[in-house]
Amino acid sequence: MKAKGLLAFVCAVALTAGCNNNRTANREAGTTGTAGAAAGVSNSDKNFVNNQLSDGMAEVELAKLATDHAASSDVKQFAQMMITDHTKAGDQLKQIASSHSIPMEAKIDDKHQNLMDKLSKMNGADFDKEYMSAMVDDHQDAVSDLRSRVDENRSLSDRVKGDNPESAAAVKPEQSDNRVTVSVNEWAANTLPTIEQHLDRAKQIKDSVDHSNDRTRGTSGTSDRKQSDTTPKGASKY
């Protein structure tokens, strides 16, 4: 009887130890799996995602300034489009980053922070000109970044001239064996046509506000010249 009792006790101890080892192994496997998901993210994908999120944040904050400081209705409408479209694109990219455990470390960079500080002290036509010039530059950079992640069905002449494809269907994500990269590239392909539209519209508005400022300065100069021409020699204009 004592032998049987001792055998039962040994079996119980062995079973308990085995269960504990299994639970430990499962926890370690779970930890390794989570770390593996993050470790499987390339620096290229991580940097691209965070750069896009940072730039999107900057576009939204700059647009909020424009709604208060701009004079042109076109500029204000453009700013509202920036808030709507870049917020939507940013939320979509955050979902992709979260689902693939891509570390998100986005923040507004010094370049855009300095621009925000500068624009916050400007109003009216001066603000419109500076803001739209920045929007053209920013969206040219954004289009270039997104195009590095997609394949476009564009003719050689269109590529040389920088013309955008007429159909969004002509834009496809660049292929990859990495599922994280594929997801990021799909986001880029879906976002590119919208950013290209932003760039085209930014160029139109920039030309408009630039010409408006030129006309204003020209009219002022003409008025001054007329007053000078009609002032008798030796007489004061005032």
* Domain residue ranges of the chain, discontinuous segments joined by +: 42-217
* Percent of the chain's residues with pLDDT above 70: 68
Q: For 42-217, which CATH superfamily applies?
A: Ferritin, core subunit, four-helix bundle (1.20.1260.10)
HEC string of the chain equals: CHHHHHHHHHHHHHHHHHHHHHHHHHHHHHHHHHHHHHHCCCHHHHHHHHHHHHHHHHHHHHHHHHHHHECCHHHHHHHHHHHHHHHHHHHHHHHHHHHCCCCCCCCCCHHHHHHHHHHCCCCHHHHHHHHHHHHHHHHHHHHHHHHCCEEECCCHHHHHHCCCCCCHHHEEECCCCCHHHHHHHHHHHHHHHHHHHHHHHHHHHHHHHHHHHHHHHHHHHHHHHHHHHCCCCCCCCC
Question: Whole-number mean pLDDT of the chain?
Answer: 81
Q: What is the mean pLDDT of residues 160-169?
A: 63
Q: What is the pLDDT of residues 23-61, one digit of tens each?
A: 444 444 443 344 444 557 999 999 999 999 999 999 999
Q: What is the pLDDT of residues 175-231, one digit of tens each?
A: 999 999 999 999 999 999 999 999 999 999 999 999 887 666 655 555 445 454 555
Please give the pLDDT value at position 40: 79
For residues 158 and 137, the model is more confident at 137
Please give the pLDDT value at position 171: 85
pTM of the predicted structure, to 2 decimals = 0.72
Residue 151 has pLDDT above 70, yes or no: yes
